[in-house]
Structure 1
């Protein structure tokens, strides 16, 4: 049997000193792969299950001053354009030859193989912050539980090392994946985006039946697991009192609940990947969040997960 410490997963970012995804100060580990295609996704680099080449032109030295990537690219995906470099994503084969020679990291790769030991050794270097704040490690993505073997091994070894654990999940996968991970969690953060299956499919690419069922089952099977349900409030999708009230009606007992305001922080990454942001004209009315938060408060739900 493979030792948990040697298990490898595909990670695209490790973010330290986060305070929004679980208790205390935390390290967030972002894993590649997701079964949903949410129009507002702030981590488009997380969606595919393979390493992905990206180009940030603001870091580029230029075709004339450098041009190393142009010489390295075997597929013609990179070409000179008015002294700069142009990236044609449809021609890219993700060979990463340009990434290896780029001195400014304008050419980058989203996705790197890391072992459980590599991640937890880095996490433990900040152990003093976790012990004082009650923090730990949170797996996110993408959808961390799509890489089930790696995520379970990482959570299991973290608990063995007395590191607090959390997973932020979209809930879209066979329940057995969540069932395997739950015993090694201190907190489960579960996204519930919409109560209506048809609307959910239009905006995310999939119905929500499995998601709702998984939330109900994990609450029933693990009654002592603290669960926080979160809803990102998206303009034109779920930004009415009726939308949020319908979600509240589907929540199992003893779950915390929290609304997250829509933001566009992931917008530049779509350009780096040669993609168009689907909600580029969307704007959340500033009066929406106070109204919806008041609705949640009247429901008696709080953002503090309980069990």
Structure 2
């Protein structure tokens, strides 16, 4: 494939994130930007970011913020939202909901929010590189977290290569549940690994997360 075509293909690689937090100081050395990626193979009951488990965007509802304007019911073409007599949202039928986000756009009080958005590497970079001076002066950089960053291997790899070319310090927070070869190139460029092993006992690990820890422990041995 010609180099021009390869470069064009890289520009079209997209992934799903649910947040980019600037000026974080707890996710690695220095001042950092944390990129929160959607999707995780584990189902930990204590998950700090349960909205990250599903890989695709999803609708969420915060009932205390609903002001009863009824705009969401009017714009929902799937008829997935049921309201009370005072227009307060009573229920969202997730079987009917296609997570298009139109109701969230119409919601003036942000009671309805679409968690997750499709972005390109360049779009993430536009936010991350705003603070490049802070990274340089503090020894900071970018932290890939989630969710499980390796759950989107192609997108993670392209982001890692992009930011490494910018000279940034890179950290990944991972549960370790991934095929090594799928992200080997990205991992070779990571400066610090934060590996969160849920339990070393396989039976207990399966009971609380729904997955065996065999591949996790194998990957832990490969990180040097």
TM-score by length of 1: 0.67
Distance in 2 of aligned mates of 1:210 and 1:154: 24
User: Equivalences for 1:38-117 in 2 at 5 Å?
Assistant: 38-62=44-68, 66-81=69-84, 83=86, 84-91=88-95, 92-117=97-122
User: In structure 2, what is the equivalent of residue 298 of structure 1?
Assistant: none
Distance in 2 of aligned mates of 1:36 and 1:61: 36
SS of alignment partner, residue 105 of structure 2:
helix
Gaps of at least 5 residues in structure 2 are 1-5
User: In structure 2, what is the equivalent of residue 257 of structure 1?
Assistant: none
User: Equivalences for 1:29-44 in 2 at 5 Å?
Assistant: 29-44=35-50
Q: Does the 8 A contact of 1:116 with 1:150 survive in 2?
A: yes
1:140 lines up with 2:140 in the alignment: no
Q: Give the superposition deviation at 1:58.
A: 2.5
From 5, 15, 18, the equivalent of 2:21 is 15
Distance in 2 of aligned mates of 1:26 and 1:150: 20
Instruction: List per-residue Cα deviations over 1:4-38 (Å, max 9, x = no partner).
Output: 45421111111111111111111110111111111
TM-score by length of 2: 0.90
Cα pair distance change 1:88/1:121, threshold 3 Å: closer
Q: Does the 8 A contact of 1:179 with 1:218 survive in 2?
A: no
Q: Give the superposition deviation at 1:82.
A: 5.5
SS of alignment partner, residue 223 of structure 2:
helix
User: In structure 1, what is the equivalent of residue 3 of structure 2?
Assistant: none
User: In structure 1, what is the equivalent of residue 123 of structure 2?
Assistant: 118
User: Equivalences for 1:181-192 in 2 at 5 Å?
Assistant: 181-192=186-197
Distance in 1 of aligned mates of 2:11 and 2:32: 20
Q: Give the superposition deviation at 1:93.
A: 2.8
Between stretches 103-112 and 146-155, larger displacement belongs to 103-112
User: Equivalences for 1:226-241 in 2 at 5 Å?
Assistant: none
Distance in 2 of aligned mates of 1:53 and 1:135: 33
Distance in 2 of aligned mates of 1:95 and 1:114: 16
Between stretches 37-46 and 96-105, larger displacement belongs to 96-105
Distance in 1 of aligned mates of 2:93 and 2:39: 19
User: Equivalences for 1:191-210 in 2 at 5 Å?
Assistant: 191-210=196-215
SS of alignment partner, residue 17 of structure 2:
strand
Q: Does the 8 A contact of 2:83 with 2:91 survive in 1?
A: no
Instruction: List per-residue Cα deviations over 1:50-80 (Å, max 9, x = no partner).
Output: 1111111222221xxx110011223333222
Q: CA RMSD, aligned part only?
A: 1.6
Instruction: List per-residue Cα deviations over 1:134-180 (Å, max 9, x = no partner).
Output: 11111111111111111111011101011111111111111113422
Q: Does the 8 A contact of 2:157 with 2:183 survive in 1?
A: no
Q: Does the 8 A contact of 1:143 with 1:170 survive in 2?
A: yes
Asked which structure has the greater RCO (Cα within 8 Å, sep 6+), the reply is: 2
The structure having more radius of gyration, on CA atoms, is: 1
